[in-house]
Structure 1
Amino acid sequence: MVRSLTQWTKTLSFPTRLSPNNKSAKEVSPTVTPSLSNNSLTASTVNNNKENNNTMNNNNNCSSMTEINQIYSDFESEKTIMSSVVYCIHHKEGCKWSDELRKLKGHLNTCKHDTLPCTSNCGAQIPKVLMEDHLLYTCPQRRTRCEFCSKEFTGHTLEDHVGNCGYEPLYCENKCGVKIQKRHLSQHKNSDCSKRLLPCRYCSKEFVADTLAIHHVKCPRVPINCPNRCDVNFLSRENLESHLKEECTISGCFFKEAGCRFKGSKYVLDKHLEENCQQHLQLICDVVNKQQNQITSLKSSISRLSLNYSGTLIWKISDFSSKIAEAKTKEGMELVSPPFYTSQYGYKLQASLFPYGNGTGEKTHISVYIKILPGEYDALLRWPFAHSVSFTLFDQTTCPDQACNIIESFIPDPTWKNFQRPSREPDSLGFGFPKFVSHEMLKKRYFMREDVMFIRVKVDPSKIVAV
Structure 2
Amino acid sequence: MKMVRSLTQWTKTLSFPSRISPKSSKENVTNIQAVTPSHSNNSLSPPYIKTNNEINAIMNDSTITEVNKIYPDPESEKAIMSSVVYCIHHKEGCKWSDELRKLKAHLNTCKHDALPCTSKCGAQIPRVLMEDHLKYTCPLRRARCDFCNKEFTGETLENHVGNCGFEPIYCENKCGLKVQRRHLSQHKAGECLKRLLPCRYCSKEFVADTLAVHHNKCGRVPVVCPNRCEATVLAREEVETHLKDHCTSSVLNCNFKDAGCRFKGPRYSMEKHLEENCQQHLSLMCNVVTKQQHQIASLKTALSRLSLNYSGTLIWKISDFTSKMAEAKTKEGMELVSPPFYTSQYGYKLQASLFPNGNGTGEDTHISVYIKILPGEYDALLRWPFAHSVSFTLFDQSTCPEKACNIVESFIPDPTWKNFQRPSKEPDSLGFGFPRFISHEMLKKRHFMKDDTMFIRVKVDPSKIVAV
TM-score of the superposition, structure 1-length normalised? 0.64
Moved more, 276-285 or 290-299: 290-299
Cα distance in 1, alignment partners of residues 427 and 337 from structure 2 = 14
**Residue identity matched to 1:433:** F
Instruction: Provide the C-alpha distance between the structure 2 equivalents of 1:233 and 1:298, rounded to a whole number of angstroms.
Output: 49
Q: Write out aligned runs for 1:77-116 (5 A).
A: 115=114
CA displacement, residues 235-290 of structure 1 (integer Å, 9 cap, x when unaligned): 62436656744733644433234332323345533332222111111122222233
1:223 and 2:223 are equivalent in the alignment: yes
Q: 1:145-166 deviations in whole A, cap 9, x for unaligned?
A: x9xxxxxxxx989968999887
Partner Cα distance (1:51, 1:302) in 2: 127
Aligned to 2:465: 464
Measured in 2, the distance between the counterparts of 1:204 and 1:254 equals 37
For 2:458 and 2:378, the matched residues in 1 are separated by 21
In the alignment, which residue of structure 2 is the partner of 1:343?
Answer: 344
In the aligned structure 1, how far is the partner of 2:403 from the partner of 2:228?
Answer: 83
Q: Which residue does the alignment assign to 2:388?
A: 387
Q: CA deviation at 1:412?
A: 1.1
Residue 319 of structure 1 is matched in structure 2 by 320
The verdict on how the C-alpha distance between 1:131 and 1:458 changes in structure 2, with shifts beyond 3 A counting, is farther
- Give yes or no for the alignment of 1:352 onto 2:348: no
* C-alpha distance in 1 between matches for 2:25 and 2:433: 153
Change (3 A) 1:192 1:78: closer
Q: Structure 1: any 5+ residue segments left out of the alignment?
A: 22-32, 57-67, 83-87, 89-103, 147-154
CA apart distance, 1:339: 1.1
What do residues 301-342 of structure 1 show as CA deviations (whole Å, max 9, x unaligned)? 332222111110111111111110111111111111111111
Task: Please give the residue correspondences for 1:46-445 in structure 2 after superposition, counting only pairs within 5 Å.
Answer: 49=65, 70-73=75-78, 115=114, 127=125, 138=136, 173=173, 180=176, 182=178, 193=194, 196-197=196-197, 199=199, 203=201, 205=203, 207-209=205-207, 219-223=219-223, 236=234, 237=236, 238=238, 241=241, 244-245=245-246, 247-248=248-249, 250-265=251-266, 268-445=269-446
Q: Report which stretch shifted further, 438-447 or 417-426.
A: 417-426
Residues 1:10 and 1:295: Cα distance change in structure 2 (over 3 Å): same
**3-state DSSP of counterpart to 2:269:** helix
Q: Is the 8 A contact 2:384 2:422 kept in 1?
A: yes
For residue 345 of structure 1, report the CA deviation from its aligned partner: 1.3
Contact 1:351–1:457 (8 Å) recurs in 2: yes
What corresponds to 1:98 in structure 2? Answer: none
In the TM superposition, what whole-angstrom CA distance separates every residue of 1:68-90 from its partner, at most 9, and x where no partner exists? 97452466x999xx9xxxxx9xx
Distance 1:301 1:344 in 2: 15
1:42-96 superposed Cα distances (whole Å, 9 cap, x missing partner): 89xx99946968xx9xxxxxxxxxxx97452466x999xx9xxxxx9xxxxxxxx
2:336 and 2:225 map into 1 onto residues whose CA distance is: 64
Q: Is the 8 A contact 1:190 1:196 kept in 2?
A: no
Query: Whole-Å Cα distance in 1 between the matches of residues 7 and 67 of structure 2?
Result: 26
Deviation at 1:351, TM superposition (A): 0.7
C-alpha distance in 2, partners of 1:205/1:159? Answer: 41
Measured in 1, the distance between the counterparts of 2:380 and 2:224 equals 64
Q: Secondary structure at the match of 1:397?
A: coil
Matches within 5 A, 1:3-14: 9=9
Question: Relative to structure 1, is the Cα distance of residues 374 and 160 closer, same or farther in structure 2, using a 3 angstrom cutoff?
Answer: same
| Post-superposition CA distance 1:187-212 (Å, at most 9, x none) | 9x96865x743636xx3745425698
Contact 1:339–1:350 (CA under 8 A) maintained in structure 2:
yes
Q: CA deviation at 1:353?
A: 0.6
Aligned residues: 380
Superposed CA deviations along residues 27-54 of structure 1, whole A, max 9, x for unmatched, are xxxxxx97669995489xx99946968x
8 A contact 1:365–1:436 mirrored in 2: yes
Alignment check: 8 A CA contact 2:248 2:267 kept = no
Partner of 2:51: none
Which amino acid letter does the alignment assign opposite residue 461 of structure 1? P
CA distance in 1, matches of 2:136, 2:218: 61
Contact 2:353 2:369 in 1 (8 A): yes
- SS of the equivalent of 1:424 reads coil
- Superposed CA RMSD: 5.4
| Matched position secondary structure for 1:370 | strand
SS of the residue corresponding to residue 380 of structure 2 reads: helix
In 2, the alpha carbon distance for the partners of 1:233 and 1:51 equals 115
Q: Percent identity among equivalent residues? A: 54
Distance 1:376 1:47, change over 3 A: closer
The answer as to whether partners of 2:375 and 2:423 remain within 8 angstroms in 1 is yes
